[in-house]
Amino acid sequence: MKIPSFLQPIFNLLTNPKKTRVVLILVLCCELILNFFIVQKVPYTEIDWEAYMDEVAGPLVHDEWDYTKLRGGTGPLVYPAGFVWLYGLLYKLTDSGLNIKRAQYIFIGFYMVFIFIVLNLYAIIIEQNSNNKEEEKESNTKQSKQKQKQEQKQKQEQNQNKNKNNKKQEKRRKKEKEQVQERRSNASSLLTKFEFQPWVLICLAFSRRIHSIFVLRLFNDPLAMLLFYFSVYLMIKNRWWVGCFVYSLAVSIKMNIFLFAPGLLLLMLKTHSLLKTFFLLAVCAITQVVLAIPFLLVNPLGYLNKSFELSRKFFYIWSVNWQFLPEDFFLSNTWSISLLVLQLGCYIFFATKKWISHEKSYKNALNQGKVTAEHFIYILFTSNFIGIAFSRSLHYQFFVWYYHTIPYLLIKTKINWLFQILILLAIEIVWNVYPPNAYASLALNLLHLFILILLFLKPVPKPRSENTKKTN
């Protein structure tokens, strides 16, 4: 299957790992233009912004530091203290939350930083994979040259005993064989090239729902994810102390960041001693305490109960993932406990069978030093995806919790690239169905289950490679 000549430059740009940074810059430029267009042309929709402003006005304006008394139009404040400080700053910058347009422009800035970090994480993986392949290619080339030399010597000895006609026949057969192999490689070039290539960066941008969550709804979910992805970048660069601090900041804005915690804990143990892991966890805990000090001094139990309210009930009407269930069953403790058991079972399976599959046992996996960026991201993204798949409820703004991990996870399923794109589009379509309905919910769960099963079956990226130090 040959690429038309007029499409060759575009194809090379999208499949050449050396052009990854060029594609990254192009995506960023398009995103900036698109976001300004959305803010200018698409009407803002009020959902939670006014409630956020009422909640943070409690301590900032009314000097109210009892967390149980902080409320907004949608009910009591249910986020940790970092949310109060961040949206308190936005309260000041937007004239007590009244200047919505200014808030939207600020969120454009947040989005651009967010997508820049995510694109860079993928660029690291693309470049790392490219370097690994080049090393393998060089090694194979050396081996093939040695083999060719040996074959040439053997042929010279054989050719001395052969006549000219036999030589011509042998050359003809060899040429025909090479032509067949070339045709086969050309026919499959599209499939082999569509793996970790620059084209993946395009899939990370231009989601209708994601842009809505950022610049038309001003939710706190994307800001928590921004800090999370930044913490991942820092940890990949081996800046664990700062990375753990930023990770804890993300948790302090929204608790969904805990879905990455099982994978992150294992990565801490893989790369550090037990003592250092303890201190890294201490950084996370101390950050939470420092942020919450004013509230803990007034009503510590009230703060812990409200900011980390695990028994919180979700509204059935907004559940994107369980609309095909009866409402009373959706709200029951039986269903919540069932999902929790399935989630924990899945975490245990991945932690014992997948995440340490290369090391064979925890004894071999612990404190083994730095891992590759892809192995790091694979564990975190699968950890989060397991939590998403068995979540008690997914509301529209929760899409940002995992959308940018889907392209990576789909590639790791190793299915045909066309099916990867179709699944990504199907998930995007489901999340844009409004209001949520039973058919869309069922489709979403089937798509999640399909991805999860394939991740069960496919291999995990190697934790270490010869060029790890170079690429990280």
Low-confidence ranges of the chain (pLDDT < 70): 1-2, 135-145, 147, 151, 153-195, 311, 466-472
Q: What is the pLDDT of residue 86?
A: 97
CB 384 within 8 A of CB 394: no
Q: What is the pLDDT of residue 138?
A: 67
Q: What is the pLDDT of residue 189?
A: 43
DSSP character at residue 460: P
Q: What is the pLDDT of residue 468?
A: 45
State percent of the chain over pLDDT 70: 85
Q: What is the pLDDT of residue 150?
A: 72
Strand, helix or coil at 367?
coil
Q: What is the pLDDT of residue 428?
A: 97
Q: What is the 3-state secondary structure (H, E, C) of 19-50?
A: HHHHHHHHHHHHHHHHHHHHHHHCCCCCCCHH
DSSP H or E stretch at residue 422: helix 417-431
Q: What b/e string do you get for 361-386 counting C-beta neighbours within 10 Å, with b at 16 or more?
A: eeeebbeeebbbbbbbbbbbbbbbbb
Global pTM reads 0.88
What are residue 72's DSSP bridge partners? 75
138-182 pLDDT, tens per residue?
666 666 667 677 767 666 666 665 555 566 666 666 666 665 554
Q: What is the pLDDT of residue 77?
A: 93
